[in-house]
Amino acid sequence: MIKERAKEVLIKMGMPASVNGLEYIAEAMGLFESGSHDIKIMALYEEIGKKHNTANTGVERAIRHAFGIVMTKGNQSMVKKYLSFDNTTNSNMLKLLYYRLKQEERETANSKPLGAEEVINSDPYQVLEDDMVLAIQKFVKNLKEANSNVYCKTDQCTLRELQGLQEL
């Protein structure tokens, strides 16, 4: 889930886990994920404030403080990977972090053991067919294992029956 990934990344950037802004930023990522990424930033603060029983100004201040810590004292290579020093407003930082996390998620989901050329030139229907064949083979293997365990638990389990199962 993107909230947990956001927390991981922010902590790797150097954000202390004790800072309230960490939880608020992760909450914002979750709201963006649920389709609220077009919402005005003040409405976002209100929503987070309601969940955490605090004022929207407190949410804004905590997020600004948290981003300030990583921008000044954090792991600069991680900060540059996920954030920007150009426009350090809360709104920009939150949206940029969300978009970079989503981009990373897509790249991870799309990465396959095939080379880049093979992925570009592969037929999507063939890839789907290959995936289906592998899934069916795995299903049949699990079914065979389950059936052999059932037959072996009975008193009439014979070598001939076990061999018959393996021929499936």
Q: Tens digit of pLDDT for each residue in 65-94?
A: 999 999 999 999 888 889 988 888 999 999
CATH architecture assigned to 2-110 = Orthogonal Bundle (1.10)
Q: Helix and strand tally (H, E) in the chain?
A: 9, 0
Q: Is the pLDDT of residue 113 over 50?
A: yes
pTM above 0.85, yes or no: no
Q: Which residues contact 141 (CB under 8 A, 6 or more apart)?
A: none
Q: Map out the domains of the chain as residue ranges.
A: 2-110, 120-166
Which of the pair, 86 or 166, is modelled with greater confidence?
A: 86
For 89, the token pair is: 């407003």
Q: Is the pLDDT of residue 125 over 90?
A: no
Rg of the chain over Cα atoms, rounded to whole angstroms, equals 25
Q: Is the pLDDT of residue 51 over 70?
A: yes
Sign of CA dihedral 30, 35, 41, 43: negative
- CA 168 to chain centroid, in Å, comes to 39
CA–CA distances in Å: residue 68 to residues 9, 102, 108: 15, 23, 29
**Nearest of 164, 141, 140 to residue 152 by alpha carbon:** 164
For 31, the token pair is: 């709201």
